Amino acid sequence: MLPRLLIAGSAFIVLALGVMHLILTFRGPKLTPRDPDLIARMKEVSPVITRETTMWKTWIGFNASHSCSAILFGLLYGYFALLQPAWLFQSAFLATVGAVFLAFYLFLGKTYWFSTPLRGLIIASVLYAAGFVAELT
């Protein structure tokens, strides 16, 4: 039971981070630039790839889709850990995908983000690894 709870704890942390990020994407000023002139420019300027959108719309879209990936990880790995542990613990593919996902998010957190999500991802990664170590023992 301990391995399942460790993985579920990891999944819950990532799920919570994703949900909070999604809420902050659409509510309040937390994920907006401090400079109102920059927001105005982002709403006017298109990226090089297309003139069909603005940098502001892509900013919102990227934040929302980023949130959804964390939410999906949290829901799937929480489900596997609690309701289908045999699928998770007997599948090298699922174990590896989860580890790679967390490793990539750790890289992003360390390189581009700030301390709160990074700390959450460190804890989630430790719990994830501990879950698989506990399953092996």
Contacts for 21 with CB less than 8 Å, ≥ 6 apart: 31, 63, 66, 67, 70, 117
Phi, psi of 50 (to 5 degrees): -160, 155
d(Cα 32, Cα 96) in Å, to the nearest integer?
Answer: 34
Q: Closest Cα to residue 21, out of 132, 137, 136, 113?
A: 113
pLDDT in tens, 75-113: 999 999 999 999 999 999 999 999 999 999 999 999 999
Number of domains present in the structure of the chain: 1
Name residues of the chain where pLDDT drops below 50.
none
What does the pLDDT read at residue 89?
97
Check residue 133 and give its pLDDT: 97
Question: How much is the pLDDT for 37?
Answer: 97
* Separation between Cα atoms, residue 87 and residue 30, nearest integer Å: 38
Q: Which domain holds residue 25?
A: 2-136
CA nearest to 77, candidates 126, 128, 118, 123: 128
